[in-house]
Structure 1
Amino acid sequence: MIKKIYSSLPSFKTLSFNSGVNILLADKTDNSSEKSTRNGAGKSSLVEIVHFLLGGSCGKESIFRTPELINYSFSMLLNIEGYEITVSRAGSSPSKVRLSFDPQSDFFKMIKTKNGYCKNTDWKIYLGALYFNINADNDEINFRSIFPYFARKQYDGGFLEPTTYFRSQKNSNKQIALSFLLGLDWHLANEQMNLETRKKDLNNLKKIVATQTYKNLLNVSANLKTEITLIEDRVSKLNNNIKAFKVYPEYKKVEEEASEISRQISDLSNKNYLDKQLIDELEKAANEEAANVSELTIDKIYEEVGLKLPDLIKNTYEDAKKFHEAIIKNRRSYLNDEIVELKTKMSERHEELQLLSKKQESKMRILNSHGALEQYNNLQNELNILENNLTERKRQLDILNTIDESKSKIQVSEENLRMKTKRSLDDHFELLKKAILSIEHSSNALYNFKSQLEIGLSKSGISFIMTTDGQKSKGITNMQIFCFDIMLIEMSIFLSRKLRFLIHDSHLFDGVDDRQIKNAIQYAINLSKDLDFQYIITMNSDDLPKFDDLDINDFILPVKLTDKSVDGGLFGIRF
């Protein structure tokens, strides 16, 4: 239980608590804002102090880091099964706490301090061991993940829903915490959380594959395998070609020389062709010249017409004929000389062609058996591109295989976990029954209110659901929270855990009927007395109902808060 809360801040109002029900009242003026109520009267700030001293975070937004409070320490005296320990902490050095306890006590033997101080991280581990018997080596569940159920904070959304204490609390966190608090096999809830993480990772992987680059590869692993096979074959062949490739140092020069020889051969061949055409023409012309010499004489012509050729004409004709024959003979001689000259040139070219052909053959043998460095590099670049494509395709196939295998494994794991969880719930039926009946009893004690706790299997593990008759309202939700938290403190005691206090601030009673508030306080008084636990309530004084057969003043703390004056609040100052 909490015995005392105090501070080095001179204006702070020290609070001393008793066992059972403790009511801290505050007067609230009609014109008070939410901020002035919080920082003025300090009802919600009491919950903040308890969290601060029990390892809660202290970021820049914390009230303990404000200029008005940062240099002051706050302290709390705790009694745990008869053993007392005092914890102090300041906003100026939130990473450490000062502890005061009996060092000879076996109860506190696990606590290690240096000059009375220990790290806040270690303090949280000690609190888990002290209050819930959590092993120090356990990193799957800790004090801070379960304690907020026993001191809900309005600012965090602690009064939105019974089974959660934080507005963005993950379902996996809730399952683990509630499974632990109810004495169930919380390791199954942790397995469920790990399974959900695997499913999330798989979904993220699917998102990657679903991008423009990969979306066409989904569910086509067979085609991808075919593509990989074809690329591998091309890579193998190209590798063999590269291994057999010989680089000739002067390949480019030889290639140019071979090209020049080819050009020369082409030129010579073209010239021979033209000269052959010319020879044919010359031989034809020579033959035609021979045919032009006629065997017909002028005498025969005269004889045919019956005339006698005069001697003078005959002599003149014979001279002309001889002259003409001489011209023809000279012409044929010229043509023959041209033909001989052309044939001689053709012969010379033929010999040159034979030499060039041999040189070309030699060059081509080099070119055919060797390659240029540029060609080799091109082949190597092509191989690199193919190998990169092959690597990419294999990676894509691995991703697809991973998705398929992971999906199958997750489905198997889900079913196995579901069966294990079902068996575990059956094995822990007596604990479940106790929790269910606790809700039943507390809800029956309230006026015109019926609520039930349903615990069962869901797709995401164990489900914890609070149900109620009729329409939901803020007041009904808050009474469900009251019943749920009373159940948690009952289960803590039943499971022989040492946390035996529960704190609710005035927000629990927002929208709640006076008769229900009265019955809730009455039920808490009776139950805390029977089970020996502490219940601390902060309330506005005008919300406290009248009790006919009970002196409620016996449970009201002597310190009364107000926001009517600057020094009326818990801290005695405004900030």
Structure 2
Amino acid sequence: MLRRLTANDPRFRAVDLRPGMNLLVAEATPGSTRTDSRNGTGKSSVVELLHFLLGAGVKKTSLAARPALRTTTFSLLLDWPGLDEPVQVSRGGAKPNLVRTDLAGAESGENLFSFRHMAEMPLAEWSARIEKELFRLPADHAGISGRAMLALLMRRVGSHAFNDPVRTFPQQAPSEAAANLAYLLGLDWRLAGGYRAIALQEATRKQLKAALNDPAWGQVVGSTADLRAKIIVAEGDVENLKAEIASFRVVPAYEDLKRRADELDQKVRALPEGDVIDRRNLADLRRAVAEANDPDTAYLDAAYRELGVVLPGQVHRTFDDVRGFHASVVRNRRRYLADEIDETEQRLAERVRERERLGEELTTTLKSLREGGALDGLTGLQQVLAQKQAALEALRKQHETAQVLESTGREISVRRAELQEELALDLEERGEQTREATWMFSRFARRLYGQDREAYLRINAGTHSLEITAHVDSRDSTGINKMVIFCLDLTAAVLAHRHGRGPDFLVHDSHLFDGVDDRQVTEALRLAAEVAEQEGLQYIATFNSDKLQRASDGGFDPAPYIVEPRLNDEYEDGGLFGFRF
């Protein structure tokens, strides 16, 4: 139970609270130029400060972080489970990650307060104590939190908490909101929270799947079919390199062999050029041999006789000498040509033999080069193999990732179906809890709108979350929607407190009653007062005086429940903080 809200600034108007219903009222100020004459009086600030002192995080826009309040330390006195005396907790915007409390070092169930003193405690530890001792949460409570449940029991208008009965801020995942409400109602919050894990997995999968549409990401991951084909090719390359390395023979003087092979190749290529020249010369020599004939002088005697000239014997002897000389010249030429022909043919034959010899040597050299190589060649092959193996392993990892991405969708569907079935069976087994919650909500709603109005809680194992739907006929009305929230909050607070799963207070900001018919406001106040008294619950609500006056005119007497201070915006010191900022 919350007892007293104070601050170390003397201008702050302390708020004293008591068991049962507490109404913090802002007086109407006729003629005010403000759109809402009670804006700035501090009604919603009370809710914000309660959250701040009960472990809420601080942003730049948070109330306690504003420059005018940053040096102020706020304090809350509240009852604590297992302790006889109230606990005090203090916190300021200057050191938001620390709280000062006389609970430090004291464990629930131990009466150490005769020796207690204020000591600093990290905010995380304070939040853990709240979860453990106010909400009785186990050490492992993934998916739910004390802060999220406090957001249900103390809805904040700044978080748009009055837009939806189950969610306390628009961005809250339905699975998370339902899991926290399930705990307060006594349902299996672990199964309800299982949807949150699936939702996170699905969100991650959607992000990765969307990333695959980016060409850069597509190259990083790719499809399983493409990667499977690339892996097959890469495996073949690796096996071929392994076989080549296994059969590799390091050849001594590899570079000398390589140079010798180049020389032999050049010589083999040069031999045909000499053959062409020699064959051309050989043809010329043979043609010259054919043309080298002995001179014919027989026609001279016949020619002279026809002319009537008789050559003397001496002339005949001279012709014979000339003929013999020419015959000798021809013989010598034929002998020379024959020698040249022999030499040319020998060169051609020698080139044939040289070609064969060079060919054999070149073949042997090339075979040596093919069968082995230099040591640096082997090292190069090993480096290439290492690169190929690394690329292959990367492809396999990509393939695994792609398989996970493609199979995750099926796994999510299967897991969601299994969880839905488990939760449906659990709801059947927890029929008593669902009946208690449904009947209580129905009773509260009918109290506001009449016994003939259809009103119930629909609790169902949905495909994406535990579905808790608060239904009241004619929910198209904004006012009815607000009263649905009122009835659901009251149901959750009563059941949580009744069964030891939550604290004994419920706080509602005046914005909850905006747009609500005066008759329902009147009946809601009556209901809250009765339930608070019956259940030992503390109900705190902020109200504008004119709205409260209309409830009074409807038959509800607020006087016993109004707490100090009575706020207004007519004077500088009329608001909660005692000054304007």
TM range (shorter): 0.7 to 0.9
1:142 corresponds to which letter in structure 2?
A: S
Structure 2 residue aligned with 1:118: 121
SS at 2:78's partner residue?
strand
| Residues 1:99 and 2:101 aligned together | yes
Question: How big is the alpha-carbon RMSD for the aligned residues of Structure 1 and Structure 2?
Answer: 3.6
> 1:242-253 to 2 correspondence within 5 Å?
242-248=245-251, 250-253=253-256
1:116 positional shift: 3.3
CA contact (8 A) 1:78 1:85 kept: yes
Q: State which of 524, 540, 543 in structure 2 corresponds to 1:536.
A: 540
**CA distance in structure 2 between the aligned counterparts of 1:235 and 1:113, rounded to whole angstroms:** 74
Structure 2 residue aligned with 1:420: 422
**CA distance in structure 1 between the aligned counterparts of 2:503 and 2:265, rounded to whole angstroms:** 102
1:152 positional shift: 0.7
Structure 2 residue aligned with 1:154: 157
SS at 1:422's partner residue?
helix
Structure 2 residue aligned with 1:493: 497
**CA distance in structure 2 between the aligned counterparts of 1:230 and 1:49, rounded to whole angstroms:** 66
| Residues 1:526 and 2:533 aligned together | no
Structure 2 residue aligned with 1:56: 56
Q: State which of 213, 238, 254 in structure 1 corresponds to 2:241.
A: 238
**CA distance in structure 2 between the aligned counterparts of 1:558 and 1:369, rounded to whole angstroms:** 102
- Of the structure 1 ranges 438-447 and 514-523, higher mean CA displacement relative to structure 2 is found in 438-447
> 1:308-387 to 2 correspondence within 5 Å?
310-311=310-311, 315=316, 321-322=323-324, 324-343=326-345, 345=347, 360=362, 363-364=365-366, 366-372=368-374, 375-376=377-378, 379-380=381-382, 382-387=384-389
**CA distance in structure 1 between the aligned counterparts of 2:106 and 2:274, rounded to whole angstroms:** 122
**CA distance in structure 1 between the aligned counterparts of 2:252 and 2:28, rounded to whole angstroms:** 99
**CA distance in structure 2 between the aligned counterparts of 1:21 and 1:414, rounded to whole angstroms:** 43
**CA distance in structure 1 between the aligned counterparts of 2:387 and 2:106, rounded to whole angstroms:** 74
| Residues 1:410 and 2:412 aligned together | yes
| Residues 1:6 and 2:6 aligned together | yes
| Residues 1:141 and 2:144 aligned together | yes
**CA distance in structure 1 between the aligned counterparts of 2:107 and 2:128, rounded to whole angstroms:** 18
Superposed CA deviations along residues 91-117 of structure 1, whole A, max 9, x for unmatched, are 233223233469999635699988533
**CA distance in structure 2 between the aligned counterparts of 1:456 and 1:181, rounded to whole angstroms:** 16
SS at 1:23's partner residue?
strand
SS at 1:4's partner residue?
strand
- Of the structure 1 ranges 399-408 and 250-259, higher mean CA displacement relative to structure 2 is found in 399-408
1:10 positional shift: 0.3
Structure 1 residue aligned with 2:485: 481
Structure 1 residues 505 and 246, CA, compared in 2 at 3 Å: closer, same or farther?
Answer: same
Structure 1 residue aligned with 2:476: 472
Superposed CA deviations along residues 132-167 of structure 1, whole A, max 9, x for unmatched, are 222345455332121111111100111111111122
1:462 positional shift: 0.9
2:423 corresponds to which letter in structure 1?
A: T
1:87 corresponds to which letter in structure 2?
A: V
| Residues 1:288 and 2:291 aligned together | yes
**CA distance in structure 2 between the aligned counterparts of 1:46 and 1:169, rounded to whole angstroms:** 24
CA contact (8 A) 1:489 1:500 kept: yes
1:3 positional shift: 2.1
1:12 positional shift: 1.1
Structure 1 residues 398 and 87, CA, compared in 2 at 3 Å: closer, same or farther?
Answer: same
1:11 positional shift: 0.9
> 1:194-273 to 2 correspondence within 5 Å?
194-212=197-215, 221=224, 224-225=227-228, 227-248=230-251, 250-273=253-276
**CA distance in structure 1 between the aligned counterparts of 2:97 and 2:18, rounded to whole angstroms:** 30
1:499 positional shift: 1.6
1:5 positional shift: 1.7
Unaligned runs of 5+ in 1: none
1:228 positional shift: 3.0
Structure 2 residue aligned with 1:178: 181
CA contact (8 A) 1:32 1:563 kept: no
Superposed CA deviations along residues 27-80 of structure 1, whole A, max 9, x for unmatched, are 354545579955x31000110111112122233332223333233322222235
1:558 positional shift: 3.9
SS at 2:483's partner residue?
helix
Structure 2 residue aligned with 1:15: 15
CA contact (8 A) 1:73 1:91 kept: yes
TM-score, normalization by structure 1: 0.87
SS at 1:160's partner residue?
coil
Superposed CA deviations along residues 196-220 of structure 1, whole A, max 9, x for unmatched, are 2233333344345554367699997
1:543 corresponds to which letter in structure 2?
A: K
1:184 positional shift: 0.3
Structure 1 residues 267 and 574, CA, compared in 2 at 3 Å: closer, same or farther?
Answer: same
> 1:181-192 to 2 correspondence within 5 Å?
181-192=184-195
SS at 1:201's partner residue?
helix
**CA distance in structure 2 between the aligned counterparts of 1:157 and 1:275, rounded to whole angstroms:** 108
Structure 1 residues 451 and 309, CA, compared in 2 at 3 Å: closer, same or farther?
Answer: farther
Unaligned runs of 5+ in 2: none
Structure 1 residues 35 and 345, CA, compared in 2 at 3 Å: closer, same or farther?
Answer: farther
**CA distance in structure 2 between the aligned counterparts of 1:4 and 1:51, rounded to whole angstroms:** 14
Structure 1 residue aligned with 2:71: 71
**CA distance in structure 1 between the aligned counterparts of 2:38 and 2:255, rounded to whole angstroms:** 93
Structure 1 residues 366 and 295, CA, compared in 2 at 3 Å: closer, same or farther?
Answer: farther
CA contact (8 A) 1:125 1:142 kept: no
1:365 positional shift: 5.1
CA contact (8 A) 1:192 1:461 kept: yes
